[in-house]
Amino acid sequence: MVTASKEKLVQWDPTDVKEELLKKYPPKVARKRAKQILINEALENETPEIQANVRTIPGIITMRGCTYAGCKGVIMGPTRDIVNLVHGPIGCSFYAWLTRRNQTDAGPDGENYMTYCFSTDMQDSDIIFGGEKKLEKAIQEAYDLFHPKSIAVFATCPVGLIGDDIHTVTRNMKEKLGDCNVYAFSCEGYKGVSQSAGHHIANNQVFRHIVGENDEVKPGKYKINLLGEYNIGGDGFEIDRILKKCGITNIATFSGNSTYDQFASAHTADLNAVMCHRSINYVADMLETKYGIPWIKVNFIGANATAKSLRKIAQYFGHKALIEKVEKVIAEEMPEVEAIAKDVRTRTEGKTAMMFVGGSRAHHYQELFNEMGMKTISAGYEFAHRDDYEGRHVIPNLKVDADSRNIEEIEVEADETRYKPRKSAKQMKALEKTGFKFKDYEGLLPDMDQGTMVIDDLNQYEAEKLVEMMKPDIFCAGIKEKYSIQKLGVPMKQLHSYDSGGPYAGFKGAINFYKEIDRLVNSRVWSYMQAPWQKNPQLSASYNWE
Amino acid sequence: MLLRHTTENIMERSALTINPAKTCQPIGAMYAALGIHGCLPHSHGSQGCCAYHRSTLTRHYKEPISAATSSFTEGASVFGGQANMMQAINNIFTVYNPDIIAAHTTCLSETIGDDLKQIKKKAVKEGKIPEGKEFISASTPSYVGSHVTGFSNMVRSMAEMAEPTGHKNGKVNIIPGWVEPADMEELKRMASLIEVKNILFPDTSGVLNGPLSGEYKMFPEGGTTIEELKSTGDSIGTLALGEWCSADAARYLDSQHKVPCSILDMPFGLMATDRFIDALRTVAGTTVPEELAVERGQLVDMISDMHQYLYHKKVALVGDPDQLIAMTEFLVSIDMMPIHIVTGTPGKKFEKRIKEITKDLPCEVNVKAKGDMFLLHQWIKNEPVDLLIGNTYCKYIARDEDLPYVRWGFPILDRQGHQYFPTVGYKGGLRLLEKILNELLDRKDRDDPEERFELVL
């Protein structure tokens, strides 16, 4: 073994850890954080409840970002043939320029604006006199330069405050240009309490302005949409490879490596497979209500999870040919995965991980760690809601607090002509009888061991303390956390950007991940932190060079 | 083609910025604040800004970047962020215990008109700032200027900490401007060779190029101390490097506390370094040691040795004004031809200065302040170049146009070394020249036909 020797607190008690985390806080902060730090344990008659999706404590050094990031950066950013125009001062547009690794194939038409950054670059005069004129002009200039099929406009903090009416501007421009769909997102950074509000706003507008625009029937069998998959490091490419091999047709991915037309045609699919529940469950629900497409939760992170998800999709369609094909593909793919898992496991078995990632991966990646014999001892989200922790059954009890009340909820009704239930009530019942679950997500908690710690909106202080006390073998979070954790001598894996690696989804992704974690937890570098003279500072005798 | 929609035909744009050659103020203020010892930068706005600025600086340095935020909600955005700030101050001092909080604003708090100076007064009055702790602030509206402006505004706030005692400290203030930690170290090394006692501020060396030792220090050893900042009013003079980055603070010390100042170019390349060394020698009344003369001679030597590969090569440049002015001068001084020069940062003096430096070149020079990288790319398509110099975003142009390319400026997200090896001074000049030559010669090796492929260049 080449890992640095570390004293392990094997017998840490979660109650003590929690107490230690809270000790340093001012009383008000401690009371609030106590509700967001949960010890996962079975309670009588109920499951433990966590507080989530509440405002961030000022000055606490949160990991969270804003609504604009959730809307433009996450959901709308990855579509290659929409010109994403940011209405605001330059920063918001600059920081979201190519910094999320949504890989994209420019396709045969070559229309690809992913490498560009578009902004109205608001100046003080725009703040004083309003920026509507400039926005209108910028849309015109973008149209004249590129003739895109669609231009999306994103609001940033000052836009809402100065009262620019971006929806009227875009409506007028859509009319004026004729062959370009122009629409806007009121995703000012101060709305809601995190990126999450931005997801919701993006879901609403993409559904309102794009979904259903193209009724053309696409070729192929077993049509699904893959919802909440953003093709980070090529995850979507790998999932598409597997789906194709199985003979399953992916109509639209929301929104990794996607096009405008995919969104426009999404209502022609027969099943919605939801990867990231947090970011896209709104669209999933709306597609069901308006067009009759049911949704199921899937997970393509982890080889076993991938196999399970493929079987679920095959079971839904229920055709013998598909079911057999899926089994054949799994049988073809698994031997290599298992061989590598077996080898890696000799070096990873029994090691521990912590994961604090956005709104879904802190759950999904536990599958991969399980496959390596590693245990997740603490996990949490930046901005997930209680349903992502506790399961969707808590949704009826959720209260929207004052900070999120102004996020628009749109009412969707069944489409008069295009609503078509994909399965009869009887068929749905029959599937459910076999244990098949529609519109369901059980959340993170049931998959975590007794006594593990689940922490919402983890901050810098708690991250450092947790690592010091519980000494995980690997810590997973984002770029802002990476280097402070590594300074402590603990390997840190970014599960947003994958540290430029990936894909980690699907079968090939599982192999990549096993190898990557093996590399990290067994790297020689962690043994170099002390110089020889620091290990033995006291000289017992002096050298004599004479 | 990564930028396939960029056309040769240049259309006048007045509202649309594409591929900016700048970013917004607060990130500059955050970077500057990290150059104070024991300082936690604080972003008074909604938390997205702070997350973005920390992420960008982290990607550039591969180091932890700590900063707190007021985390505005919609309510605070309408009714003002004072309550958020008061909570933040209390939480920061209780949990993280910095010596000083250096707060800056965003477009949000600036638009609603929050006044950080007034909030500080209230915090002091209510005893929220513990004994011996400091709080400074800078107003950094994102809709004015650029990240460079934000840097300058925070540096000025540092100068405003000056508390003259009436006794001169015998030191020279050196305001380095937005340069890398290694550059700040190099400036201190040069000053110490000339035996000029100095206060360098801000100073990110030892903060953003730290070791891996098994210990995480939110407040590393480096950084200008609060005592030093207070003492800048007692210095015998100030050398401010870069009009955009450093002049404001220097002029403040001059007008408020009669610390005379001299505004110099950033010492990139031969001539700007000559002027910096000469100024140091003059203010301190010392002689320049042989060691520096040798370093200078080595740079001149390398220029003469490799001149054939440099002569009349066309270069496109993008970056921040102070750095670009010095770099343009360096390129001209080694007989290269900088022909397309763009900064996103506004300022009339920029174009004038570049025109002066390039006036004797035997070619047309395109220069624009408040330009963007889309325009730069279009210029390159119309008049191709032999070399491109700029930040990481240039790699898309370099690949599409198949250009040799030197990474220089901010941000560099995809290569290492910029935090460890200086590019200022004669030593830095050697490194810049090495980087330029490596690119040009690698290209020659790649493109020469086999029969002309040479062992010795």
Tokens of A524: 């020689």
Mean pLDDT of B418-434: 98
Whether pLDDT at A45 is above 80: no
Whether pLDDT at A545 is above 70: no
Mean pLDDT of B230-250: 98
Binning pLDDT at 50, 70 and 90, where does residue A541 land?
Answer: low
DSSP A282-296: HHHHHHHHHH---EE
User: What's the pLDDT tens digit per position in B137-188?
Assistant: 999 999 999 999 999 999 999 999 999 999 999 999 999 999 999 999 999 9
Q: Is 0.90 exceeded by the ipTM?
A: yes
B3 touches chain A (CB under 8 A): yes
Closest-CA distance, B55 to chain A, in angstroms, reads 6
CB contact under 8 A, B143 and A158: yes
pLDDT of residue A254: 98
Q: What percent of chain A has pLDDT over 90?
A: 94
As beta bridge partners, residue A227 has A254, A274
Kindly list the residues from chain B whose CB atom is less than 8 angstroms away from the CB atom of residue A69: 48, 51-52
User: What's the pLDDT tens digit per position in B379-397?
Assistant: 999 999 999 999 999 999 9
- Bond into B411 cis (ω within 30): yes
User: What's the pLDDT tens digit per position in A244-267?
Assistant: 999 999 999 999 999 999 999 999
pLDDT of residue A12: 78
Q: d(Cα A176, Cα B47) in Å, to the nearest integer?
A: 37
User: What's the pLDDT tens digit per position in A126-174?
Assistant: 999 999 999 999 999 999 999 999 999 999 999 999 999 999 999 999 9
Quick check: is A321 catalytic?
Answer: no
B87 touches chain A (CB under 8 A): yes
Which is the catalytic residue, given A52, A66, A71, A246?
A66
Binning pLDDT at 50, 70 and 90, where does residue B5 land?
Answer: very high
Binning pLDDT at 50, 70 and 90, where does residue A542 land?
Answer: low
Q: Within 13 A of A261's CA, how many CA atoms are on the CB side?
A: 10
* B180-206 burial: b if 16+ Cβ within 10 Å, else e: bbbbbbbbbebbebbebebbbbbbbbb
Contacts of B356 (CB under 8 A, 6+ apart): none
Tell me how many residue pairs between chain A and chain B have CB atoms under 8 A apart: 264
Whether pLDDT at A42 is above 90: no
Q: Are strands A453-455 and A37-39 parallel, antiparallel or unpaired?
A: antiparallel
Whether pLDDT at A320 is above 60: yes
Whether pLDDT at A353 is above 90: yes
Q: Within 13 A of B449's CA, how many CA atoms are on the CB side?
A: 1
Kindly list the residues from chain A whose CB atom is less than 8 angstroms away from the CB atom of residue B46: 66, 157, 189-190
User: What's the pLDDT tens digit per position in A509-519?
Assistant: 999 999 999 99
As beta bridge partners, residue A229 has A255
Q: d(Cα B52, Cα B241) in Å, to the nearest integer?
A: 28
Q: Cα separations (Å) of A109 from A283, B54, B278, B352?
A: 27, 37, 59, 43
Whether pLDDT at A225 is above 70: yes
Quick check: is A476 catalytic?
Answer: no
User: What's the pLDDT tens digit per position in A394-451?
Assistant: 999 999 999 999 999 999 999 999 999 999 999 999 999 999 999 999 999 999 999 9
Binning pLDDT at 50, 70 and 90, where does residue B95 land?
Answer: very high
Residue the block writes with tokens 């101050």: B89
pLDDT of residue A94: 98
Whether pLDDT at A117 is above 50: yes
CB contact under 8 A, B71 and A55: yes
Q: What percent of chain B has pLDDT over 70?
A: 100
User: What's the pLDDT tens digit per position in B96-145?
Assistant: 999 999 999 999 999 999 999 999 999 999 999 999 999 999 999 999 99
Binning pLDDT at 50, 70 and 90, where does residue A5 land?
Answer: very low
Average pLDDT value for chain B = 97
Nearest by CB to residue A529, choosing from B49, B67, B213, is B213
CB contact under 8 A, B111 and A146: no
Whether pLDDT at A6 is above 50: no
> Shortest CA distance to B28 belongs to which of B167, B138, B186?
B138
Q: Is A40 exposed, middle or buried (0-12, 13-18, 19+ CB in 10 A)?
A: buried
Whether pLDDT at A3 is above 50: no
Contacts of A519 (CB under 8 A, 6+ apart): none
Average pLDDT value for chain A = 95
Residue of A nearest to B47 (CA): A65
Contacts of A324 (CB under 8 A, 6+ apart): none
pLDDT of residue A4: 41
CB contact under 8 A, B91 and A60: yes
Interface test with B, best of A6, A121, A186, A494 (most B CBs within 10 A): A121
Q: Are strands B405-407 and B198-200 parallel, antiparallel or unpaired?
A: unpaired
Quick check: is A66 catalytic?
Answer: yes
Whether pLDDT at A296 is above 80: yes
Q: Are A120 and A156 in contact (CB under 8 A)?
A: no
User: What's the pLDDT tens digit per position in A162-211?
Assistant: 999 999 999 999 999 999 999 999 999 999 999 999 999 999 999 999 99
pLDDT of residue A75: 98
Quick check: is A69 catalytic?
Answer: yes
Closest-CA distance, A33 to chain B, in angstroms, reads 13
pLDDT of residue A221: 97
DSSP B114-131: --HHHHHHHHHHTT-S-T
Nearest by CB to residue A58, choosing from B88, B94, B210, is B88
